Structure 1
């Protein structure tokens, strides 16, 4: 009998009497398999946000993740994407191109199964031959559950099953997870400027196919960083004097805090960022300066809109003339 079928059979037999462990009811969940006294324990975790992360240290037994994201009243079904983390992410912004994307991926110590009508459907396994670390599935009748089954222990070494998830309505406005690759309208450009995690003028200096993420990774040299929200601790984060969640740079990319004197500056450095585009879009490096707008999705910047700078300047001029902009537009 195949291992995942065996697990399904065992699970049916022990569900009623399994140790539940600690339940989650939030965006993120962190737990340890050391709290389980049996390898057949199933821990239920309730996730009621559109995105978040799971960190399972010393995985043992299984988790049952039940997704219940907040949705508009007229939208019932949704799509869940899960990205397993096998190596550290590079920083959001970095000065050197020698970032940690070159680290050797570690083996993910668990397998993922989607709960179907009558069986578990394999979604991810370390040895399934599929290099993608990003896997997606759809809800059924407004419900979606994912089983995370720990692989057998192999010695006393520390293991950690970490992954990020995102749950989005099936019908959605233009956003990073839309793969139609169409240009943004003027209203979408304005919305993207006001709401994106990264807004910067920049030059695309290289593109790389990322088969593991099913994306094209664009490396952007930033020429004027207008806004960047912090994504957490990183190894190569630009040197900051405090823990503000918001940073602003001058045109020469020297760091300034919004409420401090402009006379205090650091030595200028070229800043770069990786921005991801769905592989189906066929994006590539191009000449000229763009206004790059991206949102953080599953731990990485995902491109929302990238108009050429002269096109964006025309949009700003038109919005300034009619005074209808939702926020203060810049270029």
Structure 2
């Protein structure tokens, strides 16, 4: 069946007919229904999205979708973007593939909707091909995922997705201070392990808030500082303990993810050594 569907896709490309072209109303999110395919269950629809993040929801999936993800501004830099997709909870009814010139790589199997499973690939590696699986009853089936387009420079510097448990080198720490979505000095008050979610939630008590892109940390009137939570994979083995840390990281699918987190005294040493050599990529107070 899959070969027949793919053949229809390539015939569409050559002949220029046979698919429905769908543009989302806001160019970031798409929500459609396979019920429009009842008489043509092998139809292939093309969806075009032009944002750096958003979501796709396909209700009652039948036939197939081709999802075209592109940034608003097409420059040479867009070739170096990384695409990350994360299935919505209880997503089912279709398989999601990475497709390039007829070659398919399975990313998410029908029913495999671990809410913390993230698949990333270079934007030049192919597009997303979503094929509905045969269903006798398509009611209550929704295939969906969130997506993000990430600069490969940011991805490699912060490694919050590519290698989240690896300790950061000195250069990575300095870059993280400059390009992270949040930078704070604080302590680990507690760690809650969510085994089923394969994640640890770090309860952070913040003494110094340098920056935050979103409302992650909130004022604590009693302590005069800030409180907030940061997520990291369970496999990293983060534990509560004494000492100050410099917490950095980025927002990933709406959640703050831990990036580099050196002990604060180590950060002070790294920063001062780089400052003496004139190698700091940006400035921050270390008082």
Name the residue aligned to 2:84: 81
Question: Among residues 296, 299, 303, which one is paired with 2:254 in the alignment?
Answer: 299
- 1:5-20 alignment to 2 at 5 Å? 5-12=3-10, 16-20=16-20
Partners of 1:275 and 1:318 in 2: CA distance = 30
In 1, are the aligned partners of 2:86 and 2:146 still within 8 Å (CA)? yes
* Structure with more helix by fraction: 2
Q: Distance in 2 between matches of 1:118 and 1:306?
A: 42
Count of aligned residue pairs for this structure pair: 274
Find out whether 1:273 has 2:229 as its counterpart.
yes
* Higher percent of residues as strand: 2
Structure 2's unaligned 5+ residue stretches are none
Q: Verify: 1:126 aligned to 2:81, yes or no.
A: no
| Offset, 1:138 | 4.7
Q: 1:164 aligns with which of 147, 161, 167?
A: 147
Indicate conservation of the 8 Å contact 1:66/1:145, yes or no: yes
Q: Residue by residue, what CA displacement relative to the aligned partner does 1:146-192 show, whole Å, maximum 9, x if unpaired?
A: 1123454836547362322345549964222342813231x543432
Matched, 1:29 2:32: no
TM-score (norm 1): 0.62
- Which residue does the alignment assign to 2:128? 146
Separation in 2, partners of 1:310, 1:193: 15
Q: 1:57 and 1:188, CA in 2 relative to 1: closer, same or farther beyond 3 A?
A: same
| Partners of 2:216 and 2:261 in 1: CA distance | 21
Who is 1:329 aligned against?
A: 285
Q: What are the residue-to-residue correspondences of 1:57-68 with 2, within 5 Å?
A: 57-60=58-61, 61-68=63-70
1:53 aligns with 2:54: yes
Counterpart of 1:41 (choices 40, 43, 52) is 43
Q: Deviation at 1:247?
A: 7.3
Question: Distance between the aligned counterparts of 2:113 and 2:213, measured in 1?
Answer: 36
Distance 1:135 1:33 in 2: 24
Q: What secondary structure, in the 3-state scheme, does the structure 2 residue paired with 1:307 have?
A: coil
The Cα offsets for residues 264-295 of structure 1, whole Å up to 9 and x where unpaired, read as xx99898341322594xx44315223121110
Selected match of 1:311 from 266, 269, 286: 266
**Is 1:207–1:219's contact at 8 Å kept on the other side of the alignment?**
yes
Relative contact order (alpha carbons < 8 A, sep ≥ 6): 1 or 2 greater?
A: 1
Q: 1:202 to 1:170 in 2, by over 3 A?
A: closer
The superposition leaves residues 109-139 of structure 1 with CA deviations (integer Å, 9 ceiling, x where unpaired) of 4320111433433221134699973223456
SS of the counterpart of 1:222? strand
Calculate the aligned-residue CA RMSD, in Å. Answer: 4.4
Deviations 1:26-76 (A, max 9, x none): 872323226845443323234455x41222242543321234457984895
> 2-side partners of 1:298 and 1:313: how far apart?
31
Residue in 2 that maps onto 1:4: 2
Q: CA offsets, 1:216-245, max 9 Å, x none?
A: 534233233613332xxxxxxxxxxxxxxx
Distance 2:29 2:78 in 1: 26
**Residues 56 and 146 of structure 2 are in contact (CA less than 8 Å); yes or no, is this contact kept in structure 1?**
yes
Taking a change above 3 Å as real, the CA distance of residues 85 and 314 of structure 1, as seen in their structure-2 partners, is same
2:96 aligned with 1:112: yes
